[in-house]
Chain A
Amino acid sequence: QVHLQESGPGLVKPSETLSLTCTVSGYSIFSGYFWGWIRQPPGKGLEWIGHMYHSGNTYYNPSLKSRVTISIPTSKNQFSLDLDSVTAADTAIYFCVRYNAGSLDYWGQGTLVTVSS
């Protein structure tokens, strides 16, 4: 069974960089599929942030593209999200997900990130 788990700071200061890591178990991210991030502001709907393939191909939401980087930082079975120059509007629950043929079949439990000084 594929399992995804987000980790990272729960509080980030305005103008700084939000950095999260997703640890995957049950499947090697180097074997295939796209891996990415979805976010959900408290009490609101879902927003796609972006996805990447292990070869480096990436797709980002145009509304966030200038501030987002999704990457595989090490040889571990992990991928990461960096969101630059955050504001209060970036406060949300961040989910890591697996993209599979036009769908999102596995989700992490989500982690709340609050942007506040």
Chain B
Amino acid sequence: DIIMTQSPLSLPVTLGQAASISCRSSQSLVDNDGNTYLNWFHQRPGQSPRRLIYKVSNRDSGVPDRFSGSGSGTEFTLKISRVEAEDVGIYYCMQGTQWPLTFGPGTKVEVK
């Protein structure tokens, strides 16, 4: 199985400031088809996760452009350019390159 790790696990942020979450995989996420299936999800308390980013850097429809994804191989980053109050919650990375699908442990973002 591919193991996903995230850092930090807790991220206190100041509204309006930038934030960054790192995700690493235990092996390369580049698939045989050349794609890299690394996803980012955001989960607010009491809600189901919502996909923000797929294939490393593609934002879903309706996701604000303050969210951006980057990376390659085994190291990936989610950046929030200016954190807003609605951005609090837990962020998960997930790899879809290989079965079984695996998630990172989550990064809890909260306002300082």
A residues sitting closer than 8 Å to B (CB atoms) are 45-48, 59-62, 95, 99, 101-105, 107-110
Contacts and interface: CB of A to CB of B under 8 A. Distances in A.
B84 to A, nearest CB: 22
A102 B99 contact: no
A108 B94 contact: no
Interface of B: 1, 31, 35, 37, 39, 41, 47-51, 54-55, 60, 92, 94, 96-97, 99-106
B76 to A, nearest CB: 14
Nearest to A36: B101
Contact of A47 (B54, B97, B103, B104): B103
A95 B99 contact: no
B112 to A, nearest CB: 22
Contacts of A95: 48-49
Contacts of A47: 103
A109 B100 contact: no
Contacts of A107: 48-50
A46 B92 CA distance: 8
Contact of A105 (B1, B47, B51, B99): B51
B62 to A, nearest CB: 12
Contacts of B100: 48, 59-62
Contact of A104 (B31, B55, B94, B97): B94
B25 to A, nearest CB: 13
Contacts of B49: 46, 95, 104, 107
A112 B97 CA distance: 29
Contacts of B94: 46, 103-104
Given A48-B102, A59-B100, A103 B92 contact: no
Given A45-B103, A48-B101, A48-B103, A103 B50 contact: no
